[in-house]
A and B are shown apart, each in its own frame.
Chain A
């Protein structure tokens, strides 16, 4: 089996200048999560030194809530909302990954995961596994979440579980290429209500609880760049899913 490396990891916090990526007409038609995803993936690709990746893999627990809500409230007859086909189209989770593929003319492996707080780890596991097996030599792995005010309000009513879907726009490139890589992606594990977790004792633990794990992943990659030797990212979702990601020098 091949070794897997992290070649870049980008987290977009504020809205970038979208004119770099879209015409004004395109930008108007597109939900904000789509725009952020296109920008993040372009930046991650640039930082990695790759022209394109073999695979595009996306994690998103809810997809575009904005478009889903537009269509849903339109269906419920709420004023100001309507059932436009673009809203429905963009309400499906895989619309983000396929948009990135369409814009970069990438016919390679393409998949999307929606597993609450471990959507990012699910996508990362898929990419990691493909590279281990030699089925893909590189993968763009992204995680994108964006809530609306309404959806956020509903989540706040149920407390802790709502935290699984915090805002994030993270994209990274992983591959079998050591040259120019930041660190090694040593393992990715998904567990469900585990009895034990087997975290290596020599690793620095970064706890993702209550935060978007994809963002913590970016911070961990930065720490590795700064000289850390081994980091275990531990993501315990309140709904029982656990993701454990190990980065090594």
Chain B
């Protein structure tokens, strides 16, 4: 791709860590963050979840948000992750306000607030209607923007579980076309009782820790968190004196166009998205060192994704793992959180395992046990697929001078 788009900072927060250091340590130790419901207010306690281990009050403190401000958890986690990314990239207030576009993928938005007071809002009780200001997806993005002192522009992709991956695709395109100088791209999503019930109504939740690609897998665990990367051209990074940590080599977005909540048996959308990402990056399948799969743990997704992986890579499958048994499915944020994990792998050569996998399923790929890679890890695909067949794939590479 021309111009080259580099990543100069990133931040992640999920069930396995509030910072990149904590995250890497958990990935290395194979420590899952999935546990019984602890922080979410819900009547549905049958399913384990991947919660960020902090109360709203603790998150407010981490995000430097006043304790009486009405800020949904989605926005709070977004602020924490974005600030970590901004710090690493060394962006100034002026860079943010004048030159940075914020693209934050979310679907749940402020539902955690609304679901507690919707009946009061309808009844017009007291000041309750004010909560509607923070209900929608764009409002969360606005609160994240305001918390970092403002940005030049912002928008909110909302394609369910591929939202954050699509943030990076739009961001890269805005930079390539000269319409944005710097983009903070990613996503943020908190748990809500609403979508916990929603996934339960679809009967795709597992009552135990999820086991992506395992023959005994029964469904997914929901998780939460946020992730952001700072994207800019190599020239912009050099001008600012920022170190390129990695390169966004390519990306693909395609629609499975099969069913609203199920993936096609041959994984057409996933196949097209991965193929497009490789072609855009001018990278051959055999050059891929690792794939962070979407791998939710539902029987349908993992079989469909495996079919697509076999179509793209044939018999020569690279190392593949899903990290959803660490974090749960962080839905709209997953594309950015998992891209963050991939950036940690590019930096350290440590490939996360697919914890919980034991039994081979003939219809699925066999995931890697993970560990320190013998050779360098240079190129990674990171998949994120959403309801409705909104399938996206990101191609990340270590930064090499040329």
Q: Is the CB of A71 within 8 A of B194?
A: yes
Report chain B residues within 8 Å CB of A241: 138, 142, 154
Task: Give Cα distance in the complex from A107 to B152, angstroms.
Answer: 33
B383 contacts the other chain (Cβ, under 8 Å)? no
Of listed B107, B138, B154, residue having the most chain A CB within 10 A: B138
How many angstroms between the C-alpha atoms of A137 and B282 in the bound complex? 21
B77, CB-defined interface residue at 8 Å = no
- Complex Cα–Cα for A135 and B253 (A): 11
Q: Give the interface size class of chain A.
A: 35 or more
Contact flags (1/0) for A102-125 with B, using CB distance below 8 Å?
Answer: 101111111111111011001001
| Count of interface residues, chain B, beta-carbon cutoff 8 Å | 66
How many pairs, one residue from A and one from B, have CB atoms within 8 Å of each other in the complex? Answer: 210
A110, A157, A165, A191 pick with most chain B CB within 10 angstroms: A110
* Contact residues in A for B242 (Cβ distance below 8 Å): none
Q: How far is the CA of A118 from the CA of B154 in the complex (A)?
A: 10
Q: Which residues of A contact B159 (CB under 8 A)?
A: 93-94, 97, 110-112
Q: Is the CB of B253 within 8 A of A109?
A: yes
Find B388's partner among A99, A189, A193 (CB 8 Å cutoff).
A99
Bound CA–CA A111/B384 (angstroms): 13
Q: Are B138 and A94 in contact (CB under 8 A)?
A: no
Contacting residue for A114 out of B137, B253, B256, CB 8 A: B137
Are A61 and B136 touching (Cβ within 8 A)?
Answer: yes
Taking CB atoms and an 8 Å cut-off, the chain A residues in 104-161 that contact chain B are: 104-116, 118-119, 122, 125-126, 129-130, 132-133, 135, 150-151, 153-155, 157-158, 161
B45 within 8 A of A: no
With contacts A89-B260, A102-B389 known, what are 14 further pairs, Cβ within 8 A?
A: A60-B158, A71-B197, A73-B118, A75-B115, A88-B202, A89-B261, A99-B260, A111-B159, A111-B170, A112-B390, A114-B138, A133-B176, A190-B153, A239-B139
In the complex, 10 of the A-B residue pairs with CB atoms within 8 angstroms, ordered by the A residue number, are A76-B118, A84-B201, A88-B195, A88-B197, A99-B260, A106-B257, A107-B255, A110-B390, A150-B122, A192-B151
